Amino acid sequence: MLVLGIESSCDETAAAVVDNQKRLLSSVVYSQAEHQAFGGVVPEIAARAHLQKVGSVVETALAKAGVTFRDLSAVAASAGPGLIGGVIVGVMTAKAIAAVHNLPFIAVNHLEAHALTARLGQDVPFPYLLLLTSGGHCQILIAEGIGKFKRLGATVDDAAGEAFDKAAKMMGLGYPGGPKIEQYALNGDAARFDFPRPMVGKAGCDLSFSGLKTAVRRAVESFAPDGVLEHAVLSEKDIADLCACFQRAVLETLCSRLKNGIKTFKKEHPEGTHLVVAGGVAANRALRGALENLAKKNKLTFAAAPMNLCTDNGAMVAWAGMEHFLAGQSDPLDFSPRPRWPLDPAAKR
């Protein structure tokens, strides 16, 4: 069985083909460099770029997999949440393919695609505890089954990935900021700056990163003679130390909140065996190391999406589509793209 997956929810136009034996036959990603000049993703520019590239990306994915539309069992697309212009491009492309070639159409929740990616690379049984962390989302959930998630906590303001990008921008590192902060942090003094660990010590699993982001801004402003951020003069050592301290604060915050999540997970699902991390921030090696240690201390097995499938890609959408297809699930062609689509509809916010 073969599923084509299409991803277009933010600034990557991607397509991939997977089979039911967990083999990734192709994965093509076009990353939109157009946004670097703006320091973030511009929705209108993103939507236009998706429209221009999606056809060729899909064709290339099929060619690399050595298959045609006639060989497919189903076609899937990220149908939300995301920037609605881009989501519409991917969904309408998948619907057109499904209609022309008489294939089942599967509307994939973009967050669930991230959440299930670890199952593509290895054996991760349900239920498992999940940290889903990216530029737009930061949540702690219990993955109980296909399409079944219980949210234990979420950020009350900014996502961890967004904090990485904004902190990097303050230091003049450009966009995207996560990989650059991780690289600088390798040579930094993680004790030089005293940054806060938001929400640490409080009950529950909610997260917060706006206060940490503000602390970084004030630290950078202290290097400006007039206190203006844009006038800050930072040495390479200053940047490395700022990055190391910021990254440490993020990791310690995530691990602290996950400790509460592990207690709840073990209480509700004593049979559960895995702690999983997914999303763009899951590519951070320091985070993977910290979570692996946390899992070991709590007698859980750590799992993560393959490093090259942490950021947005078509493979995660194709695999999520495959999981739903194997469960006998598909969607009508009048399915409406969703700018908001919570994994846990029962969550209070």
Q: Which residue has the higher pLDDT, 341 or 349?
A: 341
Residues 28 and 60: beta-carbon distance below 8 Å = yes
Do 198 and 267 have their domain in common? yes
Phi, psi of 315 (to 5 degrees): -60, -40
Chain centroid to Cα 198, Å, comes to: 21
Number of CB atoms found within 10 A of residue 202's CB: 12
Tally of domains in the chain: 2
Query: Is pLDDT above 70 for 33?
Result: no
Sorting pLDDT into bands at 50, 70 and 90, what band is 36?
Answer: low
Do 130 and 256 have their domain in common? yes
Do 189 and 225 have their domain in common? yes
What average pLDDT does the chain have? 95
Query: Is pLDDT above 80 for 44?
Result: yes
Query: Is pLDDT above 90 for 259?
Result: yes
For 140, the token pair is 């702690």
Do 56 and 165 have their domain in common? no
CA–CA distance, 184 with 239 (Å, rounded to integer): 7
Do 314 and 265 have their domain in common? no
Write down the pLDDT at residue 15. Answer: 98
For 137, the token pair is 């989302």
Query: Is pLDDT above 70 for 35?
Result: no
Strand partners, 275: 129, 302
H/E stretch holding 138: strand 138-145
Strand partners, 145: 148
Does the residue 208 lie in any domain? yes
Do 131 and 258 have their domain in common? yes
Q: What share of the chain is helix, strand, coil (3-state, %, to 5)?
A: 45, 20, 35
Domain of 178, in residue numbers = 126-272
- Among the ranges given (41-55, 183-197, 331-345), the one the predictor scored with the smallest mean pLDDT: 41-55
Do 39 and 160 have their domain in common? no
- Return the half-sphere exposure (C-beta side, CA atoms, 13 A cut-off) of residue 295: 21
Number of CB atoms found within 10 A of residue 71's CB: 13
Does the residue 187 lie in any domain? yes
DSSP 273: -
**pLDDT > 70 fraction of the chain, expressed in percent and rounded:** 97
Sorting pLDDT into bands at 50, 70 and 90, what band is 39?
Answer: low
Cis ω before 198 (30° cut-off from 0): no
